[in-house]
A and B are shown apart, each in its own frame.
Chain A
Amino acid sequence: DAMVIQNPRYQVTQFGKPVTLSCSQTLNHNVMYWYQQKSSQAPKLLFHYYDKDFNNEADTPDNFQSRRPNTSFCFLDIRSPGLGDAAMYLCATSRTSGSYNEQFFGPGTRLTVL
């Protein structure tokens, strides 16, 4: 089945220790998104890529970086995680960035910062 895969599902890191989260998709979608979601809150868009064009949300901290080496893979790097970065990180894809922008989500990576 075509899908969005995220690894790992659960990640524990120490305060200040860099961490990388990965996302891959077999849907061949042009657009990939990274969201941060904290408990009982709306998903917060961090970045999105249209093909290789990178779009950084204005309020995404510099501590968060992203890479998309090819259509299938996308990575989220957190350079120096703080306690406030503990959250669920969701990767999503969509076929286009135009209207009817249905997004398909991976299962998420739950990040714990000790």
Chain B
Amino acid sequence: GQNIDQPTEMTATEGAIVQINCTYQTSGFNGLFWYQQHAGEAPTFLSYNVLDGLEEKGRFSSFLSRSKGYSYLLLKELQMKDSASYLCAVEDSNYQLIWGAGTKLIIKP
């Protein structure tokens, strides 16, 4: 079967750095997405990785290792507004997105 695993919840301090991990087992791989979802709102696109390595975009970076079926989202200089759920999604061989359940990130002052 297809499976995306990410931690259910994480807590971090304002100004700090946090890494949210995602491991996946899917039938084929055509890319990995990270989305941010604030409570009661729709997901919004953060990043896309299809090749191994690190993609940096401002305070957010995303890393991919296809051989390990592993990705992480790195958030630097955390702000209170970063409190949200972070969803990992993999595009499988049929170009369908397989979604993780999300990691709820709680930022404390």
- Enumerate chain A interface residues (CB-CB to B < 8 A): 40-43, 45, 88, 90, 97-108, 110
Contacts and interface: CB of A to CB of B under 8 A. Distances in A.
Contact of B99 (A43, A101, A106): A43
Contacts of A41: 101
Interface size class of chain B, counting residues whose CB lies under 8 Å from the partner chain = 20 to 34
Interface in B62-109: 85, 87, 91, 95-97, 99-102, 104
Top 5 nearest A-B pairs (CB, nearest first) are: A105-B42, A42-B99, A42-B101, A99-B30, A108-B42
A105 B43 contact: yes
A40 B101 contact: yes
B98 to A, nearest CB: 8
Interface string B1-24: 000100010000000000000000
Interface of B: 4, 8, 30-31, 33, 40-45, 48, 50, 85, 87, 91, 95-97, 99-102, 104
Contacts of A106: 42
Contacts of A101: 30-31, 91, 95, 97
B50 A103 contact: no
Nearest to A108: B42
Contacts of A107: 41-42
A100 B40 contact: no
A105 B41 CA distance: 10
Could you say which of B45, B96, B97 has the most chain A C-beta atoms within 10 Å of its C-beta?
Answer: B97
Contacts of A42: 4, 87, 99-102
8 contacts: A40-B85, A42-B4, A45-B96, A90-B42, A97-B95, A100-B31, A100-B50, A102-B33
Given A41-B101, A42-B100, A102-B45, A110 B50 contact: no
